[in-house]
């Protein structure tokens, strides 16, 4: 199985801050990497697919980059409604998720 | 409205069986891979199983292989997961999820998940 390692596991930031989360794959997954947002008590929501493509309707302050084994997810200007847990997920092999990054407001 | 509605969760004893189902509406169900993803209380997401649009391609996480069986009925827009030999560690909220469509080969099911249901809770306890 391909292991996905996210960092940090939790993060505290202020409104307006630039926030970055990284995800590292245990082997080359090309660009087969997706990012999800999960708010408490809700189902996950797809934000980014194929490492860098924004899902329809997702605000442009969210972005993704990377290929191979190293990937980055960025929120350019943190908003209060962005408080959630974020997960990366690879689909080069059987799908696997990272362990999640809990984002809080400072 | 695109919608996935899970049902069939509940309480089961270790070693027993349970079947969860998902009713799809608002999209061409027969065109997309479908998946089950679970989340244990307070934990992260774990992909459980996926099935291609034509049921040719099927995959399972190692943690459920040999115990769980995924199936779909395109005529009824429904997805099911038969769970046998349940273990305490199978306790989780089980989500039904639609494949995004990145996966285009006939038997392919590895994909992103763009539509999710609200989940059905499965509790395994003696």
Q: What pLDDT, on the 0 to 100 scale, is given for residue B107?
A: 81
Question: Quick one: pLDDT band at residue A94, thresholds 50, 70, 90?
Answer: very high
Question: Quick one: pLDDT band at residue B103, thresholds 50, 70, 90?
Answer: confident
Question: Quick one: pLDDT band at residue B105, thresholds 50, 70, 90?
Answer: confident
Question: Chain B partners of A57 at a C-beta cutoff of 8 Å?
Answer: none
Q: Residue B104 pLDDT > 80, yes or no? A: no
Of A24, A26, A21, which is closest to residue A36 (Cα–Cα)?
A: A21
Mean pLDDT of chain B: 96
What is A35-53 written as a DSSP string? Answer: EEEE-TTS--EEEEETTTE
Total residue length of chain B: 126
Question: Quick one: pLDDT band at residue A24, thresholds 50, 70, 90?
Answer: very high
Q: Residue B102 pLDDT > 90, yes or no? A: no
Question: Chain B partners of A87 at a C-beta cutoff of 8 Å?
Answer: 44-45
Among partner residues A34, A46, A97, which is closest to B46 by beta-carbon distance? A97
Write out pLDDT tens, residues B26-50: 999 999 999 999 999 999 999 999 9
Q: Identify whether the C-beta of residue A89 lies closer than 8 Å to the C-beta of residue A98.
A: yes
Which residue on chain A is closest to B63 by alpha carbon?
Answer: A1
Of B32, B63, B23, which is closest to residue B46 (Cα–Cα)?
A: B63
Is the minimum CB–CB distance between A67 and chain B shorter than 8 Å? Answer: no
Among partner residues B62, B112, B117, which is closest to A34 by beta-carbon distance? B112
Q: How many CB atoms lie within 10 A of CB A8?
A: 12
Which residue on chain B is closest to A49 by alpha carbon?
Answer: B112
What is B58-116 written as a DSSP string? Answer: EEE-TTTTTTEEEEEETTTTEEEEEE-S--GGG-EEEEEEEE-S---STT-----EEEE
Q: Residue A30 pLDDT > 80, yes or no? A: yes
Q: What pLDDT, on the 0 to 100 scale, is given for residue B68?
A: 98
Question: Chain B partners of A44 at a C-beta cutoff of 8 Å?
Answer: 37, 45, 95, 113, 116
Q: What pLDDT, on the 0 to 100 scale, is given for residue B54?
A: 93
Please provide the distance, in angstroms rounded to a whole number, between the alpha carbons at the two ends of chain B: 40
């Amino acid at each position: 199985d391909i292991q996905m390692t996210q960092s940090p596991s939790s993060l505290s930031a202020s409104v307006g801050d630039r926030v970055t989360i990284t995800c590292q794959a245990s082997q080359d997954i090309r660009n087969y990497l997706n990012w999800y947002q999960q708010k408490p008590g809700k189902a996950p929501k797809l934000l980014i697919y194929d490492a860098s493509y924004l899902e329809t309707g997702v605000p442009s302050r969210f972005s993704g980059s990377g290929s191979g084994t190293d990937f980055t997810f960025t929120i350019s200007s943190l908003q209060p409604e962005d408080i959630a847990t974020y997960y990366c997920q690879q689909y080069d092999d059987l799908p696997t998720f990272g362990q999640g990054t809990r984002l809080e407001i400072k | 409205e695109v919608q996935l509605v899970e049902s069939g969760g509940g309480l089961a004893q270790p070693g027993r069986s349970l079947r969860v189902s998902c009713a799809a509406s608002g999209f061409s169900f027969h065109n997309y891979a479908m998946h089950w993803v679970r989340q244990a209380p307070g934990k992260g997401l774990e992909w459980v199983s996926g099935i291609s649009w034509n049921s040719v391609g099927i995959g399972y996480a190692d943690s459920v292989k040999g115990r769980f069986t995924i199936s779909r009925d395109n005529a009824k827009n429904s997805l099911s997961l038969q769970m046998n030999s349940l273990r305490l560690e199978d306790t989780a909220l089980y989500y039904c999820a639609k494949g995004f469509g990145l996966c285009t080969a006939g038997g392919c099911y590895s994909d992103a998940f763009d539509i999710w249901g609200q989940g059905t809770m499965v509790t395994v306890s003696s």
